[in-house]
Chain A
Amino acid sequence: MSARVVAAWAVVGVPLVYGLVETINKASSLFTK
């Protein structure tokens, strides 16, 4: 897989992972509070 493809996936993947982590943290309160 070319470096260009990896870089392009990083551009969209990093924000998506950030959003997922933040949301999972928020959702965890459903089972802890």
Chain B
Amino acid sequence: MPAVPSFLARERTVAGPGFNRWLIPTCALAVHLCIGQVYATSVYKTALVGHFDTSLTRVGVIFSIAIVMLGLSAAVAGTWVDTNGPRAAMFTAACFWFTGFMVGAAGIGTDQLWLVYLGYGVIGGIGLGIGYISPVSTLIKWFPDRPGLATGMAIMGFGGGALIASPLSGRLMAVYDSSYDAADPSSVASGHAVMMLFLTLGAVYLCFMLFGAFTVRVPADDWKPEGWDPSQVAEKTLVTTASVSAANAIKTPQFWLLWVVLFCNVTAGIGILEQAAPMIQDFFREGDTSTVSAAAAGGFVGLLSIANMAGRFAWSSTSDVVGRKPIYMGYLGIGLATYILLATVGPSSTVLFVLFAAVILSFYGGGFATVPAYLRDLFGTFQVGAIHGRLLTAWSAAGVAGPLIVNGFLDSQGTPGELTADAYRGALFTMVGLLAVGFVANLMIRPVADRFHEPEQDGDARESAPETERSNA
């Protein structure tokens, strides 16, 4: 991985005395609110289908490439991010994310879908991965007393990004295409409007992410929060004060058990997210029509987005109090019970259905937001960003498995528009099984064996030593 220009170097970002650590979450949010746009692609999906005269599946590939690239780039660039610091990472992510939009816009403008794949999917996806992990390690170092709260705030931003981008994109496309009405579900924007939207979003996101990049600071090596006693950390079960390198972390059973936990939790959440709007209509179908209107189904999707975002902040913050392992037992155990209730009691009442789905989605968000703090507990802060990056491959895998499971079951049950609650039962109980696997995997997590710990040395020496020398413990 290349070195960075001096103005981005980690040494230039060390905070001076009196720096207010509450500035750091705003930097993380500035990045995550921008890259969270990836979950708002459905706003212009139909417009792209019309513009390229192609299928929804081929347009959906843009999103799939971006999510796969997110996982891959986070895994590959994680160590580089940890070594070069958050400013270099955020700056790089901003450049990739911006370039992705620009190349994507060029693809739309010249009617070349492959260019959109390359731009938004590949280049933008690299920005997503580097951007996602860029603030994690820094936040944990600034908030050693409340890592769950800190990472919860940042990763909440990823959920919030879609809440902002979705209505904003609708309004911007209406500005660029006067015949388009964002409030009318049957209205479709022109390709030119989507191209202009890409150019606008790219420019706005570049500014926001650069604000984060040039505001962020890393704490000095000897810094700790006022009144906080680091010796208390070691007193908690599963929380280590030792350091494990990313290269060693992937050799531990704890990493792979947590990989399974994240994979199962995310797959179960995607099972609902993927199908949210048609699912609520199918659950309350009477004959050929559903008692839930298309507009109300859209409202359901919005409500799930809020539950997802709120869960990221609320559950991750709660994990600082109850501990990481117990909270995952809740995500997976209560989630499992809620899934059973959704499949059995859900069809009897819209309110109950919405409530159960919202609880499941809040656990889905909580699972994402709490995992960096769980990694910190198990492997220490040393290369937590890089380890987090490697763990995010579970997200990519779940992004493929979740829709495959749900769509596989539904395809065998009938055609869209004719399905009922019974058609979902197989998929829902498969998710219950997955959550049970995740629950057991979480139960099996124990402290990391001493042989994986880095040798004790002073902090400066460890920070500057190359990874190959550090990770042969």
Q: Are A29 and B26 in contact (CB under 8 A)?
A: no
In the complex, the 8 A-B pairs of residues with the closest C-beta atoms, listed nearest first: A19-B163, A30-B299, A19-B164, A22-B167, A29-B299, A8-B26, A27-B302, A27-B303
Instruction: Tell me the minimal C-beta distance from B219 to chain A in angstroms.
Output: 16
Q: Are A15 and B164 in contact (CB under 8 A)?
A: yes
CB of B306 closer than 8 Å to a CB of A: yes
Instruction: Tell me the minimal C-beta distance from B235 to chain A in angstroms.
Output: 31
Q: Which residues of chain B come closer than 8 Å to A22, judged between CB atoms?
A: 163, 166-167
Residues of A within 8 A of B (CB): 1-2, 4-5, 8-9, 11-12, 15-16, 18-20, 22-24, 26-31, 33
Q: Which residues of chain A come closer than 8 Å to B295, judged between CB atoms?
A: 29, 33
Q: Which label, helix, strand, loop or mixed, suits the secondary structure of the B interface?
A: helix
Q: Are B296 and A5 in contact (CB under 8 A)?
A: no
CB of B399 closer than 8 Å to a CB of A: no
CB of B305 closer than 8 Å to a CB of A: yes
A30's partner among B23, B160, B303 (CB-CB below 8 A) is: B303
CB of B110 closer than 8 Å to a CB of A: no
Known: A19-B167, A23-B303. 12 other contacts (CB 8 A): A4-B20, A8-B27, A16-B157, A16-B160, A18-B167, A18-B168, A19-B165, A22-B167, A23-B163, A23-B305, A24-B302, A30-B299
Instruction: Tell me the minimal C-beta distance from B18 to chain A in angstroms.
Output: 10
Q: Which residues of chain A come closer than 8 Å to B33, judged between CB atoms?
A: 12, 15-16
Total number of B residues with any Cβ neighbor in A under 8 Å: 32
A4's partner among B23, B302, B303 (CB-CB below 8 A) is: B23
Q: Are B296 and A11 in contact (CB under 8 A)?
A: no
Bound CA–CA A2/B27 (angstroms): 16
CB of B22 closer than 8 Å to a CB of A: yes
Instruction: Tell me the minimal C-beta distance from A1 to chain B in angstroms.
Output: 7
Instruction: Tell me the minimal C-beta distance from B100 to chain A in angstroms.
Output: 20
B29's partner among A1, A12, A20, A26 (CB-CB below 8 A) is: A12
Q: Which residues of chain B come closer than 8 Å to A20, judged between CB atoms?
A: 160, 163, 306
Q: Are B302 and A26 in contact (CB under 8 A)?
A: yes
Q: Are A5 and B164 in contact (CB under 8 A)?
A: no
CB of B431 closer than 8 Å to a CB of A: no
B296's partner among A16, A19, A33 (CB-CB below 8 A) is: A33
Q: Which of B259-284 contact A (CB under 8 A)?
A: none
Residue among A4, A19, A20, A28 with most chain B CB within 10 A: A19
Instruction: Tell me the minimal C-beta distance from A21 to chain B in angstroms.
Output: 9
Q: Which residues of chain B come closer than 8 Å to A12, judged between CB atoms?
A: 26, 29-30, 33, 157
Q: Are B306 and A8 in contact (CB under 8 A)?
A: no
Residue among A5, A22, A24 with most chain B CB within 10 A: A22
